[in-house]
Amino acid sequence: MIEVNDFHKAFAGQVAARGITFHVEPGELLAIIGPNGAGKTTTMRAMAGIIPASRGRLSITGFDVEADPIAAKSRLAFVPDDAPLFPDLTVEEHLSFYASIYQVSDAHSKALGLLDAFELTPRLRTPAGNLSRGTRQKLAICCAYLHDPQAILFDEPLTGLDPQGIRVFKRSLQERASQGAAVVISSHLLAMVEDLCTHVLILAGGAQRFFGPIDELRTSFVHVDEAASLEDIFFAATSP
């Protein structure tokens, strides 16, 4: 569903990612974790077709992100940590706009279900510029889900969400994966990663330190105590 092969990216001679390779199958939840500056956001932005790779191939459902961007992007959704919404458009108008872009045939019923799940129905006619940070994030998630993307990318999606919003979001991730979507989430919240994700990609300094099923982490870092938490393994994997 998602394939990244030998991804490299440099900005003005500064290497942000080098040789990153991984894949995400339908129904899998992949967490990308690493310290600040590890290359997480760079990798996700390249997967979404926002920035080009310096080298390597990235594809969504078999479509090359650079060679066939429209086909690739029509099958994915990307929610950054601070989604760029239109401040003058209402919640309802955002969903209508996204429905028209992706030509969603049953947009009305889907929108109603998403608005209800994320408790946005009372805000239907509120401009995005008048929403709190957490409520804007909920709206961005609803817009992302509207066209039933096969690949879904979230970069630090919990920013601003209240406990109820976090619970609803986590449940929605599991539901989307159970329906066959490939989900990638970048987060510093290791407890959530350990609780939800099936696979992990660990990055440090733009390099890949581990990729595989989350239950293989401990066998890959045999020098870490058998009772080690994901946090312990994270520090062992990302230390210089």
Pairing of strands 2-11, 55-60: antiparallel
The CATH architecture to which 77-188 belongs is 3-Layer(aba) Sandwich (3.40)
d(CA 156, CA 234): 17
CB 137 within 8 A of CB 157: yes
Domain residue extents for the chain: 77-188
Helix extents (H) in 64-216: 69-73, 91-102, 107-117, 133-145, 163-178, 190-196
State if pTM tops 0.95.
Answer: no
**Three-state secondary-structure class, residue 180:** coil
pLDDT tens-digit profile, the chain (240 residues): 999 999 999 998 889 999 999 999 999 999 999 999 999 999 999 999 999 999 999 999 999 999 999 999 999 999 998 888 999 999 999 999 999 999 998 999 999 999 999 999 999 999 999 999 999 999 999 999 999 999 999 999 988 899 999 999 999 999 999 999 999 999 998 988 988 999 999 999 999 999 999 888 877 775 666 667 788 888 888 887
Give the helix/strand (H/E) hosting 237: helix 230-238
Report pLDDT for 125: 96
Q: At CB < 8 A and 24+ separation, what contacts does 168-176 make?
A: 168/117, 168/118, 168/119, 169/141, 170/195, 170/196, 172/117, 172/141, 172/145, 173/29, 174/29, 176/145, 176/152
Write the DSSP symbol of residue 130: G
Report pLDDT for 159: 83
d(CA 75, CA 65): 11
Q: Most distant CA pair in the chain: distance in Å? A: 56
Q: CB count, 10 Å around CB of 54?
A: 15
β-strand partners of 186:
32, 155
